[in-house]
Chain A
């Protein structure tokens, strides 16, 4: 007969250094032990009925809630508590008691099955602590990095806001001018030569004024671009980032050279910049146009996990086709020039507005991922994740790229939607769905794609670590869990 009679177990708690003997029915956690009083009738924990105490753990299910058989597999819904001294305590479904498989590291679930289980709690505990420690470190550092990211994002955001506002203002002015110019042009195009000549002078004046305005607008834009830290001043070092201004053409703009350009000042504000502008405006390249060339990758190219600038997918304003037109009329020329400017400004501000429209997280901590790409090379493919843009896959040894989805939405669980990114509507599969990718974000010091898989056909799963999801580390106690409740 295999009927198991009430088995009382001895459990040693070692946290105080002295063994404390606690008796209780097998499988009952310390927190519930008061409900199991030897030789007193036991009331099922759901209160459904009361049974003699000898029916507790007698390998027959009397309570609907399974509470009379915490130490046997008799109840279909019971749970067994393993103490797992040295590791984590846990509950297992009571169906795993004596099923021949070792579930509790302290072996207590297999007391009558003949399974040869070894107590692995200490080892598991040690490993878990190691992992926890590592995780804690990562979380800590990651969280610090996240703070930086948040700071940077904040700054960038303000800057861009200003930029957008300025540009909108700029654009407004330009629009007005274009309007004027157009009137002028239309008028100028009237066949009456007289009228044309009458207007010519006024036009010349206008043109000069407009050129001045345009120059001012350019200057203002340059100032904003140069003012990297958006403190309202352009400093020597900020100017130095524009190597094209180098006077002696040795490839570098030294501090002295820069200071020279700035009329000897350490930094200049907007109004003072007016006097600096003539010195640099001929050589100055807007950062916008500079971005059109691929930025140099900062890390060696074989480091595939490092970010790469997203240079092939972000739409940048195309130069206006009017440039190709044969222009023999100065008015036309001016008119087009201004029109281009409007177009250009519009695009710029659209891009920035688009960027500002993304949900970069509660503290904008994901901003830094924008316009970046991260790659992972596997046996066959190079996978490329460009956050907020798209995911793609390219055969390692030649072949065309496949779109695995473009940015859809955050799709994590309700309590934290920022744990999953969904990219949708990729290249269609033959007789199947369009490819899509779920990106799972985990806390890490580095921003890296760690793995990719295809759980269902054309539904990809990418694992991605970033400091941006690191949570503030709790003050975790890393001491062994051997004093935890039984």
Chain B
């Protein structure tokens, strides 16, 4: 949690004034608007349709996998180099850099898991106006137009996507500062904004001074902070047109709806990792993390744009259907005057190069696997981390930890992890323990281990500048700190007071950091201690926009270049440390607040410092859905809300929502009153107990979905349109969601709610209420009356979900427990599902193929378990204790066929709900078997 920095007695007055806000809301003045960000303002002032760029077709070079071509800016004659790649898996990569930059421009490393494998490109035709290239599959072509430069990706006669179709490509080339030039070159500077000049002059005409035009080019001041910009203007921009697209998603992190809004008349969506104190909802302001990936979807196709750039980035979205009512659209259609709906997107980044991956789908799942093939998939977390997490800033001391732990047992509520925030460390020196409050950390951890529970302690990346602190001394002696523009160690204020910031972009630094998690280095740590990386945007209380100065230096690169990836590196190094401490055997668990494309490989993400308000509960759904769409499946929001005290009703509703989101952690600010689940009277304790138990019963399903996400990139928590891509009614739904394909959840997020209307998708499909087994038809809006105990959840007809209905103290205690299979039949009396089992914590599933993966199929009145991994090797003592078949008819006899033998199985049939219960068939969960209904 980032904490309300005002509480820090150590903070200087400067810092306090920076953070002061008397009302509960973000102080917008602390953060830049596009107008206050010189490059954004400059770029945004460009008018479409005036592109000065021209492709020099005669420079075209084509090798097997790569096409290069020079572009020229006719205004300033600067040459750019365009590279085009056809990537395996229906993707195209477009790179644009200066042909001969004054010095190298930053290209983001460590995000792609490998150099993406290419496929041959071939020239289909070429003339003076352009080149047509074949993209291989399905009549797909890439057309390069020369004047102005433009790219179109076509399939048949259809344009799927165009680049620079509005002519907003702008590439500010590196140049010498005129002050340092022997001969001032006004023309050069004048043209530096690449076509923007007329516009700029128009705007600034009144000022009448030409050097005003330079404002923000070589220096920029925001509030009291001056950015020295020694490299001058370096921004880049490119526009994309998406014909036929009305719905775009992604580019987290924003506290906004799932479907992205048009940004005309307002600020663009901003991607710049920031520690935003008390963030506001429903606006495009930047938050803690950035994933520059946008998905475009219509009934025919899903595509993605991945803009690989780690600098401050703004994304403008406009649409030609904005503001048109459904009736208006219909009228257009009837009158035949309808222009094809189209969404236009424009990306602007402060530095680096243009490096774009166009993922052509066409199915949603294709886009997920395409993106996964580039940046990797969700890490497969330890099973226990899918259980319930109890956190608070702060559990005060060992005694406190013990009594909270006991509280869970006294109230018979399961939990897996208890968390320690910053107060646990000795003077905010991470990797240490407060000697008074936590004198015996191992004793504490052993106490938790005895109950098969675990702990997370926070390790933030700001390091207290203190010559008595080992971590600081080692970083200093190894010269691992980020430097300021003058080459001295960069220092800023954070929790410990004056702090240094390790340069996590350095591989040697990360290796050293990882080594600090070794049991003999991290004193008091044990194998059930895991880590939480907070404040890794990085948060610098007295820095510009509460983060690091852009002219700080990471080796030869400016912080400006790498800002958005700093947080990823912190989590990467931490996860690496946790893996290494076990010799590579055990899976890590690391939670991060800041993130970037690729962060999914290192652990979980939460939505930062939300508040105990109903709207914050609501926004947790689109925020995690947006993250899921761009790879980060292991997402959650602070249950209960971080700031402020929730009403009991809100707290209960938040548990009910959080229990059905991937990362399930309650957390609270230091200033809030205690809110452990049993503090609100027996009725509310019972409600919270019940929903946490529902979570635990479903752990086998969650685990299997995380495995699937890890293997394929499919999001765990999904918008409905992912599985119902042709159903336009689903395209804007973000108050309900799917978990995997088979569970639909519509949490109650309104105060005093007496009912919710859930949309059940799928014409001809059925859904079963998981609590009552009542069957409902798909493709309808269903009104569900609710009480405080209601959590509307439905299982898809046609699915099989394994559960462990014996809920115990912690997930680890449930390891050997038997399964109950919930078979929900489709109208055609069919169902299928999977069962995945491994040891729950090691990499042996990967390194030794020690897992069980089975398909479960119900067809022709037979339920069969088949091995999906015959060469896998894992033994479980779990067995099948019960099978519930929803939507069944009554059989006369049920037989279990196994090992060549047939044995009768007892059953019961509930006529009113058509539920057939098979009593104790008893087969091992890893065995081959068939249950026959006769």
Seen from chain A, the residues whose Cβ lies within 8 Å of a Cβ on chain B are 1-3, 58-60, 73-74, 76, 93, 95-96, 99-101, 113, 379, 429-433, 453-459
B613 at the interface (CB under 8 A from A): no
Q: How far is the CA of A74 from the CA of B817 in the complex (A)?
A: 9
Q: Give residues 877-908 of B contacting A (CB, 8 Å).
A: 877, 879, 881-882
Q: Give residues 805-825 of B contacting A (CB, 8 Å).
A: 805-809, 812-814, 816-818
Chain B residue at smallest Cβ distance from A99: B813
B813 touches A457 (CB 8 A): no
Cβ contacts under 8 Å, B436 to chain A: 379
Cβ contacts under 8 Å, B882 to chain A: 60
The answer, among B450, B808, B816, for a CB contact under 8 Å with A95, is B808
B771 at the interface (CB under 8 A from A): no
Given contacts A73-B806, A431-B4, A431-B6, contact A93 B412 (CB under 8 A): yes
A290 → B minimal CB distance (Å) = 43
B452 at the interface (CB under 8 A from A): yes
Given pairs A3-B920, A60-B881, A453-B396, 10 additional interface contacts (CB within 8 A):
A1-B924, A60-B920, A99-B452, A99-B809, A101-B451, A101-B452, A431-B7, A433-B673, A457-B671, A459-B673
Chain B, interface SS category = loop
Given contacts A93-B412, A430-B7, contact A101 B450 (CB under 8 A): yes
B670 at the interface (CB under 8 A from A): yes
B879 touches A3 (CB 8 A): yes
Chain B residue at smallest Cβ distance from A94: B806
Cβ contacts under 8 Å, B674 to chain A: 455-456, 459
B751 at the interface (CB under 8 A from A): no
Cβ contacts under 8 Å, A457 to chain B: 670-673
A113 → B minimal CB distance (Å) = 8
Seen from chain B, the residues whose Cβ lies within 8 Å of a Cβ on chain A are 4, 6-7, 396, 399-400, 412, 436, 450-452, 670-674, 693, 805-809, 812-814, 816-818, 877, 879, 881-882, 919-920, 922, 924
Cβ contacts under 8 Å, A1 to chain B: 879, 922, 924
A95 touches B396 (CB 8 A): no
Q: How far is the CA of A379 from the CA of B817 in the complex (A)?
A: 47
B808 touches A99 (CB 8 A): yes
Chain A residue at smallest Cβ distance from B436: A379
Chain A residue at smallest Cβ distance from B670: A457
B183 → A minimal CB distance (Å) = 58
Chain B residue at smallest Cβ distance from A73: B806
Instruction: Give the 9 A-B residue pairs with the shortest CB-CB distance, closest first.
Output: A99-B813, A432-B671, A456-B673, A60-B920, A456-B674, A457-B671, A95-B808, A99-B808, A457-B670
Cβ contacts under 8 Å, A430 to chain B: 6-7
Q: List 5 A-B contacts (CB under 8 A).
A: A3-B879, A73-B806, A76-B693, A433-B671, A456-B674
Given contacts A73-B817, A453-B396, contact A95 B451 (CB under 8 A): no
Cβ contacts under 8 Å, B919 to chain A: 60
Given contacts A93-B412, A101-B450, A431-B6, contact A2 B671 (CB under 8 A): no
Cβ contacts under 8 Å, A59 to chain B: 881, 920
Cβ contacts under 8 Å, A379 to chain B: 436
Chain B residue at smallest Cβ distance from A451: B399
Cβ contacts under 8 Å, B808 to chain A: 73, 95-96, 99
The answer, among A74, A432, A453, for a CB contact under 8 Å with B806, is A74
A2 touches B451 (CB 8 A): no
B396 touches A3 (CB 8 A): no
B239 → A minimal CB distance (Å) = 44
A53 → B minimal CB distance (Å) = 15
B806 touches A76 (CB 8 A): yes
Cβ contacts under 8 Å, A96 to chain B: 808-809
A3 touches B7 (CB 8 A): no
Cβ contacts under 8 Å, A459 to chain B: 673-674
Q: How far is the CA of A433 from the CA of B672 in the complex (A)?
A: 9
Q: How far is the CA of A431 from the CA of B924 in the complex (A)?
A: 57
Cβ contacts under 8 Å, B817 to chain A: 73
A433 → B minimal CB distance (Å) = 8
B806 touches A95 (CB 8 A): yes
A100 touches B452 (CB 8 A): yes
B40 → A minimal CB distance (Å) = 33
B628 → A minimal CB distance (Å) = 31
Cβ contacts under 8 Å, A456 to chain B: 672-674
Cβ contacts under 8 Å, B805 to chain A: 76
B25 → A minimal CB distance (Å) = 13
Chain A residue at smallest Cβ distance from B450: A101
B396 touches A454 (CB 8 A): yes
The answer, among A58, A101, A453, A458, for a CB contact under 8 Å with B809, is A101
B645 → A minimal CB distance (Å) = 9
B922 touches A95 (CB 8 A): no
Q: How far is the CA of A196 from the CA of B450 in the complex (A)?
A: 96
A97 → B minimal CB distance (Å) = 9
B879 touches A2 (CB 8 A): yes
Q: How far is the CA of A76 from the CA of B807 in the complex (A)?
A: 7
Q: How far is the CA of A432 from the CA of B436 in the complex (A)?
A: 25
Cβ contacts under 8 Å, A431 to chain B: 4, 6-7, 671
Q: How far is the CA of A458 from the CA of B490 in the complex (A)?
A: 36
Q: How far is the CA of A113 from the CA of B877 in the complex (A)?
A: 11
B877 touches A2 (CB 8 A): yes
Chain B residue at smallest Cβ distance from A112: B816
A379 → B minimal CB distance (Å) = 6
Q: How far is the CA of A276 from the CA of B446 in the complex (A)?
A: 76
B753 → A minimal CB distance (Å) = 27
Cβ contacts under 8 Å, A455 to chain B: 396, 400, 674
B693 → A minimal CB distance (Å) = 8
A100 touches B813 (CB 8 A): yes
B6 touches A3 (CB 8 A): no
Given contacts A95-B807, A431-B671, contact A74 B881 (CB under 8 A): yes
Q: How far is the CA of A117 from the CA of B754 in the complex (A)?
A: 50
A360 → B minimal CB distance (Å) = 30
B685 → A minimal CB distance (Å) = 15
Cβ contacts under 8 Å, B809 to chain A: 95-96, 99, 101
Cβ contacts under 8 Å, B7 to chain A: 430-431
Chain B residue at smallest Cβ distance from A3: B922
Cβ contacts under 8 Å, B920 to chain A: 3, 58-60
Q: How far is the CA of A434 from the CA of B611 in the complex (A)?
A: 21
Cβ contacts under 8 Å, A93 to chain B: 412
Given contacts A60-B920, A454-B396, A455-B400, contact A95 B671 (CB under 8 A): no
B877 → A minimal CB distance (Å) = 5
B59 → A minimal CB distance (Å) = 62
Q: How far is the CA of A96 from the CA of B806 in the complex (A)?
A: 10
Cβ contacts under 8 Å, A100 to chain B: 452, 812-813
Cβ contacts under 8 Å, B4 to chain A: 431
Q: How far is the CA of A59 from the CA of B673 in the complex (A)?
A: 42
Q: How far is the CA of A93 from the CA of B436 in the complex (A)?
A: 36
Q: How far is the CA of A99 from the CA of B879 in the complex (A)?
A: 16
Q: How far is the CA of A76 from the CA of B694 in the complex (A)?
A: 12
Cβ contacts under 8 Å, A95 to chain B: 412, 806-809
Cβ contacts under 8 Å, A2 to chain B: 816, 818, 877, 879
Chain A residue at smallest Cβ distance from B404: A455
Q: How far is the CA of A432 from the CA of B399 in the complex (A)?
A: 25
Chain B residue at smallest Cβ distance from A454: B396
A40 → B minimal CB distance (Å) = 20
Q: How far is the CA of A453 from the CA of B398 in the complex (A)?
A: 12
Cβ contacts under 8 Å, A432 to chain B: 671
Q: How far is the CA of A458 from the CA of B645 in the complex (A)?
A: 14
Q: How far is the CA of A73 from the CA of B878 in the complex (A)?
A: 13
Q: How far is the CA of A430 from the CA of B19 in the complex (A)?
A: 14
A440 → B minimal CB distance (Å) = 13
Q: How far is the CA of A316 from the CA of B877 in the complex (A)?
A: 76
Q: How far is the CA of A3 from the CA of B880 in the complex (A)?
A: 10
Q: How far is the CA of A210 from the CA of B920 in the complex (A)?
A: 101
Q: How far is the CA of A379 from the CA of B435 in the complex (A)?
A: 12
Q: How far is the CA of A318 from the CA of B673 in the complex (A)?
A: 41
Q: How far is the CA of A333 from the CA of B396 in the complex (A)?
A: 63
Chain A residue at smallest Cβ distance from B697: A76
Q: How far is the CA of A93 from the CA of B4 in the complex (A)?
A: 41
Cβ contacts under 8 Å, B806 to chain A: 73-74, 76, 95
